Amino acid sequence: MSFGSTNVTTGNFYSFSFDGSNGIAASGLVGGIGLFYSSNSGSSWTQSNITTGRFFSCVILGTVGIAVSYDNLGIYYSTNSGQTWTQSNKTSASFYSVALSNSYGLAGGANIGGGETGNTGIYKTTNNGQTWTITGRTTGGWSNIYISGTNAVATNGTSSGAIIYSTDSGATWTQASGPTSSNFTPHSLSFSGNNGVVGTTLNGSGVATGAFYTTNLGQTWSQCSGIPNNIRVTSMSLSGTKGIASTSANGLYYSNDSGATWTQSNKSNSFFSSVFLSGNIGIAGEFSGVGGLAGIWTTGDGGQIWTKSVNPTTSINRVYISGSNGIAGSSTNNGLFINTSPMCYAENTEILCLVDNEEKYVNIIDINEDTLIKTYKHGYKKVENIKYFDYIPINSQNSTECIYRLKDGTLTITGGHSILVDELSEEEDKLQKQLGFKDTIDDKKLLLSCISDKFEKLNIEKNVKLYHIVLENSNEEKHYGIYVNDGILSETISKKTFNYFFKSHLEQSVF
């Protein structure tokens, strides 16, 4: 897996939120460049009308967005998916967190600057963030807030940490049973149904206290087993009964029982700042890596085995999964990153080449620069570039991101990779148009493997080694048909596509 820069290449980011393909990103401590929005699951971003300032938390639901300022500027709301923002009636105070359910939302004060008026407590809105009033909790700095229907949970991120819950949409709050306000400082919060987990940093005495879990929407909490009580747990994420957790020095952990018990993954060192889990697919942001390097790690088996991305090597603040995209925000000044997902061949692919003046099929792992590959209607062409990388299908629900195999053969390619056919059926043409895809090579039409009934989807949620090939040509937009696995015509990638998406992001090469 490789991650490349989006069109936002500066700033650092503390929060993401998505609803469908629409998302917002909030900049953090470094630079303070305001709020951005995306309409394509984070593939590209546009600056909103808020171009300065630090925002530690944001949320989007439908077309409604809410963002809370850390610069004593209160709370902002949007009615057009984050494109433009308006300041609410709360025009001052600093905030750590925000959550939204229907038109009801909660925001947690930051309790900074000696507890000045308006910076503490939990505020509530009933009109999508336009106006806010203080709830029954008027003190404390609240680092995380979660809402599910009329139930809510909040964690106090100051040195006198606590967990409280509400069953009446935040009107009244009750101290949760379990850890007390004097023995831990909660740092992250994640729920899946009634089950939740909270990670802790240092308490008022400078002692770390591990992680806790709940099975009743935050009313009672118990110490997790498997994660040592004396380590800092920086981030936790639940998806169904699975969970992943990051620590400040001990790497990454995983759980298969909704967070009650945890096991150390293959990554047992480094400082990780953020994790996000969707099904078995997970992403983790490394804040300070071993040897001074950091970056992005991914898993395809619920957190047991992690693989580091080729790029970037910068420290990461926050990570997220939206649709088929893995998204990461820099903790320095390097902007936003997204995983690339090229059209590629698996390592069992054989390609028709000219070897010692004889045409023969050569395994892709044995092909290198200058190998002559037979093309459809263009003779033999030299390989200009061939590279491999480890790929994880981030979201198995997106067909173009999945791995497909020919039903009566061994050809294995990504769903966004095509074979060449004489004609498309009416249904094939319809389905491809729905994906916004229509292309040809010479007199052949391209048929996506995820559309063709000749292919079957493989249920792969682990690292797959994939290759992509560029053949030499003076026309950077030209791609070719080549013969793979006993005569099947398939497409190569064009030089322009390779350069735009992959060349600056992939460092591994087969030669």
DSSP codes joined into one string, 30-67: SS-B-EEEESSTTSS-EE-S--SB-EEEEEEETTEEEE
Asked if residue 380 belongs to a domain, the reply is: yes
Tokens at 475, concatenated: 């026309």
Asked if residue 226 belongs to a domain, the reply is: no
Q: How many structural domains is the chain composed of? A: 1
State in Å, rounded, how far the first CA of the chain is from the last one.
19
Q: Which amino acid is at 217?
A: L
Measured CA to CA, the distance from residue 348 to residue 465 in angstroms comes to 10
Is-above-0.95 flag for pTM? no
* Range of the structural domain that residue 395 is part of: 345-503
Specify burial of residue 39 (Cβ count, 10 A radius: 0-12, 13-18, 19+): middle
- Of 97, 79, 96, 76, the closest CA to residue 88 belongs to 76
The answer to whether the CB of 144 falls within 8 A of the CB of 133 is: no
Asked if residue 57 belongs to a domain, the reply is: no
Measured CA to CA, the distance from residue 409 to residue 487 in angstroms comes to 11
Measured CA to CA, the distance from residue 126 to residue 140 in angstroms comes to 22
DSSP 291: G
Measured CA to CA, the distance from residue 36 to residue 51 in angstroms comes to 9
CATH number of the domain at 403, please: 2.170.16.10
Instruction: Tell me if the bond preceding 342 is cis, omega within 30° of 0.
Output: no
Q: In 453-498, at which residue ranges do the beta strands (DSSP E only) sit?
A: 455-458, 464-471, 481-484, 488-491
One pLDDT digit (tens) per residue for the chain, 511 residues: 568 888 999 999 999 999 988 999 999 877 789 999 998 888 889 999 999 999 999 999 999 999 999 999 999 999 999 999 999 999 999 999 999 998 899 999 987 754 445 678 999 999 999 999 999 898 888 999 999 999 999 998 665 558 999 999 999 999 898 876 555 677 789 999 999 999 987 665 667 788 999 999 999 999 999 999 888 999 999 999 999 999 999 999 999 999 999 999 999 999 999 999 988 789 999 998 777 779 999 887 889 988 888 778 899 999 998 866 789 999 988 999 987 555 578 888 999 999 999 999 999 989 998 899 999 999 999 999 887 766 766 555 567 778 899 988 888 888 888 999 999 999 999 888 877 677 899 999 999 999 999 999 887 766 678 888 899 988 888 889 999 986 899 999 888 777 655 543 443 333 3
Measured CA to CA, the distance from residue 246 to residue 210 in angstroms comes to 11
Give the pLDDT of residue 438: 78
Give the pLDDT of residue 503: 44
Asked if residue 159 belongs to a domain, the reply is: no
Asked if residue 494 belongs to a domain, the reply is: yes
The answer to whether the CB of 200 falls within 8 A of the CB of 235 is: no
Give the pLDDT of residue 391: 72
Asked if residue 416 belongs to a domain, the reply is: yes
